[in-house]
């Protein structure tokens, strides 16, 4: 057990944990984004009225295997954030000891590009963590802890008429508020910047460097970092416009 702790707290161990948890969270985002696209089904089939999304949400919260994966996701979000903060703090204190990163009046002079990138990642990651907190309080918290009797919000019935919790109604009502849409769009733009560096950096940390494959990974990383946040942004924007 001691060697596991030693490895996880070594500088390479921390980076490997960051890349593995980061890649798992990248997979989570693909599934989450594609699943959430069912929020848009009522725009192509008016009779649906959010049923497809509510059925999907029911399966996601009742299937034991999916529930287990959810717990892994929560743990990895916390581990990824904790290790990221630890790396940023270690870099900061190391900077004051190297001639290159000498600090004057608490300010660092000419940090290396790698150190600058790590610092940006820590800042972007902190914003994303704050967004996840707000996001989970808004939807996940209500989904899991509300008693769902009567109305969940003024004018929004708690059940959808098919016996499912009306999570669609909750999300739809949230995305009628301009400030919510603005927070979501800014947050997924920040997510895009975080992924733009993080995706390919994770492969590099794992030693997957190859003349032929590295450009491919970089290209895939750029595509992923644009497509996933765009998919997420499309939902609040479309639902907001449609509600006006
Ligand atoms: C517009 C985009 C998004 C929508 C409509 C959306 C919707 C939802 C909903 C309805 C839930 C609750 C599901 C449930 O409890 O069954 C949820 C959970 C969650 N969302 Fe999102 N989400 C969006 C974007 C994001 C983004 C960008 C992230 C991460 C950066 C994220 C991270 C999470 C996490 C970690 C959970 C908990 C997952 C679980 O319990 O397995 N979401 N989301």
Please, which pLDDT band fits residue 42 given cuts at 50, 70 and 90?
very high
Model pTM greater than 0.85? yes
Coil/strand/helix, residue 195? helix
d(CA 154, CA 149): 13
Task: Give the pLDDT confidence of 52-91 residue by residue, as tens digits.
Answer: 999 999 999 999 999 999 999 999 999 999 999 888 888 7
Tokens found for residue 143: 């989904």
Q: Which domains does the chain have, with CATH numbers?
A: 2-243 (1.20.1300)
Using the mean position of ligand 1's atoms as its centre, give its distance from the Cα of residue 136 in Å. Answer: 7
Range of lowest pLDDT (48-57, 152-161, 183-192): 152-161
Tokens found for residue 158: 């708690």
Please, which pLDDT band fits residue 95 given cuts at 50, 70 and 90?
low
Using the mean position of ligand 1's atoms as its centre, give its distance from the Cα of residue 99 in Å. Answer: 44
Q: Where are the beta strands (DSSP E) in the chain?
A: 103-104, 107-108, 151-153, 156-157
The 10 Å CB-count burial string (b at 16+, else e) for 63-77 is eeeeeeeeeebeebb
| DSSP summary character for residue 111 | -
d(CA 34, CA 40): 11
- Specify the pLDDT at position 38: 98
- Specify the pLDDT at position 104: 46
d(CA 124, CA 84): 11
d(CA 39, CA 86): 37
Rounded mean pLDDT, 45-55: 96
Which atom of ligand 1 has the smallest separation from the CA of 36? 5
Find the residues whose C-beta lies inside 6 A of ligand 1.
32, 36, 39, 57, 60-61, 70, 73, 128, 132, 135-136, 139-140, 143, 167, 171, 184, 188, 191, 232, 235-236
């Amino acid at each position: 057990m001691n060697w596991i702790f030693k490895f996880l707290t070594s500088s390479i161990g921390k980076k490997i944990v960051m890349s593995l948890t980061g890649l798992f969270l990248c997979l989570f985002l693909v599934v989450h984004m594609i699943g959430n696209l069912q929020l848009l089904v009522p725009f192509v089939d008016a009779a649906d009225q959010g049923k497809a999304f509510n059925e999907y949400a029911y399966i996601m919260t009742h299937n034991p295997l999916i529930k287990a994966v959810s717990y892994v996701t929560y743990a990895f979000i916390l581990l990824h954030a904790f290790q990221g903060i630890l790396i940023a703090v270690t870099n900061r204190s190391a900077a004051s000891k190297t001639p290159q990163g000498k600090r004057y009046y608490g300010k660092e002079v000419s940090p290396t590009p790698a150190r600058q990138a790590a610092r940006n990642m820590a800042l972007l990651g902190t914003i994303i963590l704050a967004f996840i907190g707000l996001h989970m309080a808004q939807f996940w918290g209500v989904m899991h802890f509300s008693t769902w009797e009567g109305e969940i919000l003024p004018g929004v019935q708690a059940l959808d008429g098919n016996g499912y919790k009306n999570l669609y109604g909750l999300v739809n009502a949230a995305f009628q508020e301009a400030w919510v849409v603005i927070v979501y769009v800014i947050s997924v733009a920040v997510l895009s910047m975080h992924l733009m560096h993080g995706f390919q950096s994770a492969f590099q940390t794992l030693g997957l460097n190859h003349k032929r494959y590295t450009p491919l990974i970089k290209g895939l990383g750029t595509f992923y970092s644009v497509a996933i946040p765009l998919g997420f942004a499309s939902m609040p924007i479309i639902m907001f416009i449609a509600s006006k």
